[in-house]
Amino acid sequence: MKLTGNFSVAALCLLFAANTFAQSSVTAPIPYGAIPNKYQYDWQQMEYYMFIHFGPNTFTDKEWGHGDEDPKVFNPSKLDARQWAKTAKAAGMKAIIITAKHHDGFCLFPSKFSTHTVRESVWKDGKGDVLKELSAACKAYGLKFGVYLSPWDRNHPDYGTSKYNDIFAKTLNEVHTQYGPIFEQWFDGAKGEGEKKQDYDFPKFYEVVRKNNPQAVIFSDIGPGARWMGNENGIAGETNWSTLNTDGFGVGADAPPAKVLNTGNENGKYWIPAEVDVSIRPGWFYSAATDDKVKTLQQLESIYNTSVGRNGNLLLNVPVNRDGLIHPNDSTRLMELRRYLDATYKTDLAKGKKVVATNIRGKSKTYSAQNLTDGSNDTYWATDDLVKSASVTIDLAKATDINRVVLQENILLGQRVKSFSVEYWDGTAFKELDKQTTIGHKRILSFPTIRTSRIRVNILEANACPALSAIQLYRAPEMM
């Protein structure tokens, strides 16, 4: 019926106003369970950064030094921290974490609380400071800087006594007051069987970090900022919750079972996302014997998919050699990975494409399914509160080759999805492509190339109404 006259115009204005008010009055989903704080959220966006194991072990060909090595063995005559930072930057990494003090107790900085440091080495006549050089290099290349200090100290005479925790806290304070800002403090609970007994005072250590670098995410088996994910193979659980129950557990031998760390706890009390640490070589420290054993491009891409692609951050160890440089074999492989990832994720084939959902929260544009393909993580699709299973279909308009699907939840609202499936249109019907459990910050599905004009994502089960920020589709090049 055609509307005419002043009354009809007024009626249309009222109808428009009512519709606008209805959309603007639709409330956002209430956060579900534990959620990340600002620093954890920013940390998760980094996704990929470098670990550097470096110290006397580099020169003695050991993985765990005994602390009895002569500090003069440490002499990286060509050390160039800018080369490390330049390599990390070129590799697409966002930061570097270095072993400021490993289990042997050797400090890569001239600590006042140890006699086993670079000060006692012949490198730069005892006047060198690796942390100072690397911190400056990271700043120069726009990278964040992080440190690993092992509480275990096989050299310090006070280790195993009541004095040691205070000494370690003071050592930690040196690092956090002289080389900041620090984005991540890396701890482990290693002690070694048959070694001196020392109960670490982690609350005291955490206090030092928070006082000087409140933005630093604290890593250990159980966080509190980020957790170890149970292995050093680069493989997070296919199910990976960012939440974990840590009450009653500790760091090291007192941590939850590796299987629990690998998957997290559904509805866990605390937000403690997984960090995946793995070395580009068989060992953590450089050894000339492993120059020909650098992981292949295929291995590294698989690790990327099972770390970043399974709701974790990837901390890839690239050991520095005896010259104080990253070996060409390692840097060459890093560049190959960078080129492959760039080629894979250069063009989002779903961006801007039409999306239809079975439910949209309050029928509001604010939570439209189009937010899934708008290229922004600041928008998201959500359903009504009582709708915990729903489907979205992306129309690619024409037959398109794809072999990667990337999904992201709005983790500021918590981790919600328990299971989902992805289907593709084969010309006559939808066929299941994959079926998985959790999503979290990012989930990457990798599969043989298919050709399709439509992709459907089904949220099968969620603990609260789904809230997804992105669904992206890609065509990765074939690996030679």
pLDDT for 21-50, tens place per residue? 444 579 999 999 999 999 999 999 999 999
Q: 318, 344, 370 — which closes off a domain?
A: 344
The residues near 398 (Cβ < 8 Å, ≥ 6 apart) are 453
C-alpha distances (whole Å) from 123 to each of 49, 72, 102, 126, 377 are 27, 8, 18, 6, 47
The residues near 340 (Cβ < 8 Å, ≥ 6 apart) are 297, 301, 476, 477, 479
Residues 236 and 363 in one domain: no
Q: Is residue 242 part of a domain?
A: yes
Residues 339 and 365 in one domain: no
**CATH number for the domain harbouring residue 70:** 3.20.20.80
Q: Is residue 23 part of a domain?
A: no
Give the phi and the psi of residue 123 in degrees, each rounded to 5: -60, 125
- Contacts made by residues 430-433, CB under 8 angstroms, sequence distance 24+: 430/454, 430/456, 433/405
Residues 141 and 272 in one domain: yes
Does position 423 have pLDDT exceeding 60, yes or no?
yes
Token pair of 305 as six digits: 């998919």
- Contacts made by residues 133-137, CB under 8 angstroms, sequence distance 24+: 133/79, 133/81, 134/52, 134/81, 134/84, 134/85, 134/96, 134/98, 135/179, 135/180, 136/81, 137/81, 137/82, 137/84, 137/85, 137/86
Confidence of residue 184 (pLDDT cuts 50, 70, 90): very high
Distance, CA of 355 to CA of 279 (rounded, Å): 40
Residues of the domain holding 419 = 354-474
Question: In percent, how much of the chain has pLDDT > 90?
Answer: 92
AA identity, residue 254: D
User: Residue 298: enclosing H or E segment and its boundaries?
Assistant: helix 297-307
Q: To 10 degrees, what angle do helices 328-344 and 81-90 make?
A: 20
Q: Is residue 52 part of a domain?
A: yes
Token pair of 463 as six digits: 């603990």
* Cis-peptide, bond into residue 224, ω within 30° of zero: yes
Residues 289 and 322 in one domain: yes
The residues near 384 (Cβ < 8 Å, ≥ 6 apart) are 359, 361, 362, 465
Token pair of 221 as six digits: 């088996």
Token pair of 120 as six digits: 């006692």
Residues 268 and 396 in one domain: no
- pLDDT for 3: 39
Distance, CA of 422 to CA of 458 (rounded, Å): 6
Residues 145 and 207 in one domain: yes
Q: Is residue 11 part of a domain?
A: no
- pLDDT for 22: 44
Cβ burial, residue 308 (10 Å; 0-12/13-18/19+)? buried
- pLDDT for 385: 98
The average pLDDT across 42-59 equals: 98
For residue 399, count other CB atoms closer than 10 A to its CB.
11
Residues 280 and 419 in one domain: no
Does position 9 have pLDDT exceeding 70, yes or no?
no
C-alpha distances (whole Å) from 153 to each of 72, 109, 123, 161, 165 are 18, 15, 22, 12, 11
- pLDDT for 24: 53
Q: Is residue 102 part of a domain?
A: yes
The average pLDDT across 288-307 equals: 98
Does position 390 have pLDDT exceeding 80, yes or no?
yes
Does position 18 have pLDDT exceeding 60, yes or no?
no
Contact 318, 87 (CB under 8 A): yes
Residue 469: strand, helix, or coil: strand
Distance, CA of 278 to CA of 259 (rounded, Å): 17
Residues 167 and 259 in one domain: yes
Residues 282 and 366 in one domain: no
Q: 344, 373, 404 — which closes off a domain?
A: 344
Token pair of 278 as six digits: 């793995």
Question: In percent, how much of the chain has pLDDT > 70?
Answer: 95
C-alpha distances (whole Å) from 303 to each of 236, 269, 293, 339 are 9, 28, 16, 16
pLDDT for 320-358, tens place per residue? 999 999 999 999 999 999 999 999 999 999 999 999 999
Q: Is residue 9 part of a domain?
A: no
Token pair of 154 as six digits: 């096989």
Residues 365 and 285 in one domain: no
Does position 6 have pLDDT exceeding 70, yes or no?
no
Q: 324, 344, 364 — which closes off a domain?
A: 344
Does position 421 have pLDDT exceeding 50, yes or no?
yes
Summary count for the chain: helices (H), strands (E) = 10, 17
C-alpha distances (whole Å) from 186 to each of 51, 219, 225, 273, 349 are 10, 5, 10, 14, 38
The average pLDDT across 4-17 equals: 39
Q: Is residue 27 part of a domain?
A: no
Residues 411 and 338 in one domain: no
C-alpha distances (whole Å) from 16 to each of 7, 12, 23, 359 are 14, 6, 11, 22
- pLDDT for 17: 37
Q: Is residue 274 part of a domain?
A: yes
Q: How many domains does the chain have?
A: 2
Contact 117, 154 (CB under 8 A): no
Confidence of residue 69 (pLDDT cuts 50, 70, 90): very high
**CATH number for the domain harbouring residue 392:** 2.60.120.260
Contact 368, 421 (CB under 8 A): no
Least confident stretch, 9-13, 20-24, 455-459: 9-13
Q: What is the dihedral of CA 85, 89, 95, 99, to 10 degrees?
A: -30
Q: Can you give the pTM of this predicted structure?
A: 0.94
Residues 437 and 315 in one domain: no
Confidence of residue 377 (pLDDT cuts 50, 70, 90): very high
Q: What is the mean pLDDT of the chain?
A: 94
